Amino acid sequence: MNYGYKTPTEMRNQVSLIGKAVRLERIMNRKTKRTIIVPMDHGMSVGPIKGLEDMKAMVDMVAEGGADAVLGHLGLPIYGHRKSGKDVGLIIHLSASTSLGPYPNSKVLVTMVDEAIKIGADAVSVHINIGDENEADMLQTLGQVSRECREWGMPLLAMMYPRGKKITDEHNVEYVKIAARVAAEFGVDIVKTNYTGSIETFKEVTRGCGAPVIIAGGPKKGTTEDLLQTIKDSLEAGGAGVAIGRNIFQAENPTKMVCAIYRIVHENWEVSEALKEMK
């Protein structure tokens, strides 16, 4: 007879859920339920690109602007831990490939969830290319990491991109909404994917996913106004924030850029207002 006492398994599951909730609050704003993440994992694939030569300095700048989290491989906390300055969430990226390899779009698991926990991560992330010839291996990786994250109470962000021989346009809503939904089917906590170009089409992605969807920054935008308008439109379509790298750390003033994005993501400012404050 059960008198309301939880079994050891139920207790472990409850603790894991609480742990995940606590960690999620470190990378997502409690009030808005949105997030501003600055990926800094580019060194793995393309080397020391402009803006990431000094990771400590860049983490300082984006944290000061109001970023909720930074994202990178193990090297980010090892060589970028500041021991001072404004606090910011840490997301450890678990999968990788390089631009010099024979299959640059085929990501493999290089770090485990428990390693990320040991180094102080608030969440982990993996990169999956739907449509790639090695998609099956990447999906297996996503399943493995998702199971480990549920066991450890660790939030999981999945970078989901439609890339492969069948993909004619990586921003096409028909491809993007499949990629996003795949992540939700694995139980991930946040999905990062491409913006589809319009509020109407991106609504199909957010409504059909289930999990919170944030947009990738992609290649450097032509103007700051273009970037901010894309962010504004994605939020109107039901998006939960951004994960933007180059458009932030290669900006003339990364701190001001993050601050402008903060005004839009967390305070619902208009693009024109955010631009005025930047100036």
Q: What is the pTM of this model?
A: 0.94
Q: Using CA atoms, how far apart are residues 172 and 246, in angstroms rounded to an integer?
A: 22
Strands (E), the chain: 35-39, 69-72, 89-93, 95-96, 108-109, 123-130, 156-162, 190-193, 213-216, 241-243
Which of 41, 132, 189, 233 is catalytic? The answer is 41
60 included as an active-site residue: no
Q: Using CA atoms, how far apart are residues 70 and 119, in angstroms rounded to an integer?
A: 14
Mean pLDDT estimate for the chain = 94
Mapped to the 3 state alphabet, what secondary structure does 191-257 carry?
A: EEECCCCCHHHHHHHHHHHCCCEEEECCCCCCCHHHHHHHHHHHHHCCCCEEECCHHHHCCCCHHHH
Please state the domain extents for the chain: 8-278
Which of 122, 161, 189, 203 is catalytic? The answer is 161
226 included as an active-site residue: no
What pLDDT shows up at residue 9?
Answer: 64
Residues of the chain with pLDDT under 50: 1
What pLDDT shows up at residue 1?
Answer: 46
Fold entry, domain 8-278: TIM Barrel (3.20.20)
Which of 192, 203, 232, 256 is catalytic? The answer is 192
114 included as an active-site residue: no
